[in-house]
Amino acid sequence: MSFFEDIAAGLDREGIESRVHDDTMFVPITSDVEIHFEEIDPHLPAANVYIAAADVDADDDEFEAVLVSVVFSVEDAVATVAQHMATDQVITVLRDLLEGTDERIGDVEFYQDPLDPHLVRAEVGENAELQVQVEEVDGSPCATVTFVALPDSYDDLLDDAIGELWDSDGDAELTEEDREHLFATLHAEAAADAETLDLGVFYDFDRLFDVLSLAADHAEDWEAQLLPFDEDDFDEPDVYDIFGADHGDEDDLEDDVEDEEDDED
């Protein structure tokens, strides 16, 4: 079997379609993007891997396939395709969150964190937010969801910081990007003192949107119940010595035993 036939068999076992035309293997990732394998050595074997727009005539002057890697085995080829498919799913979910394309989150407005492009946030409840981290883990796309009840002082802290940053002038004037990064840093510091609920890690993105919809509906209730926990407010539980040492010394214990024996006699 040729290298392309081996790759096609490996992809087929993973449920991934492919086709070969002339010296190129085409693997669709989405309706707009596909991977091209071009064999460069049939004996090693080896193949260049390109990312290209789908359904574009190769003779088109504007057509351009971008070289992204080189593979030397069927395992490498299958892993490369899986990685690009996972990356595309991550991008798709992030876009759906930011654009609110799913009606289940139509009333929730997510925005992208300026420090971490894979993290999106949305204000919910009175003073809380939903955080969704979308990333690839071990080749599979997933989303980690956290509910954060921000401290009461959060708004005042941000108002003070915004006033200082936006009023800066002269040589110390900050760019919009600098201000966004500083704002995100201040937000992270304030959120460090917040109360949180871990809502889980989701590989099923349809279920993810169900969870986000439910979280938005219950935000005020969760926020009211997430009270700060102070260990000093709770006394240490009493721990009793199962051998009776807490009730007296050993001599007292022996006297009690002797008294009991006398009573029995």
Residue with tokens 């351009």: 64
Mean pLDDT computed over 242-247: 52
pLDDT in tens, 21-41: 888 999 999 888 899 999 999
Taking the whole predicted model, whether its pTM rises above 0.85 is answered as no
Plot region of 2 (φ>0 → left; ψ -120 to 50 → alpha; else → beta): beta
Give the chain's radius of gyration (CA, Å): 31
**Residue 123 tokens, joined:** 């204000």
**Residue 164 tokens, joined:** 């200082």
Taking the C-alpha atoms of residue 152 and residue 156, their distance in angstroms, rounded to an integer, is: 8
The band of 170, judged by pLDDT with boundaries at 50, 70 and 90, is very low
Buried b (16+ CB within 10 A) or exposed e, 62-89: eeebeeeeebebbebbbebbbebbbebb
Q: For all residues of the chain together, what is the average pLDDT?
A: 80
Inside any domain, residue 157: yes
Tell me which of 42, 66, 91 is where a domain ends: 91
Inside any domain, residue 111: yes
Tell me which of 26, 60, 91 is where a domain ends: 91
107 and 82 within one domain: no
Environment class of residue 255 by beta-carbon count within 10 Å: exposed (0-12), middle (13-18) or buried (19+)? exposed
Residue 260: pLDDT over 50: yes
pLDDT in tens, 87-126: 999 999 999 999 999 999 988 999 998 888 999 999 998 8
The number of distinct structural domains making up the chain is 2
- Give me the pLDDT at residue 140, please: 87
Inside any domain, residue 256: no
81 and 139 within one domain: no
Residue 155: pLDDT over 70: no
165 and 69 within one domain: no
Inside any domain, residue 98: no
Tell me which of 91, 123, 145 is where a domain ends: 91
Q: Which domain holds residue 134?
A: 103-228
Inside any domain, residue 8: yes
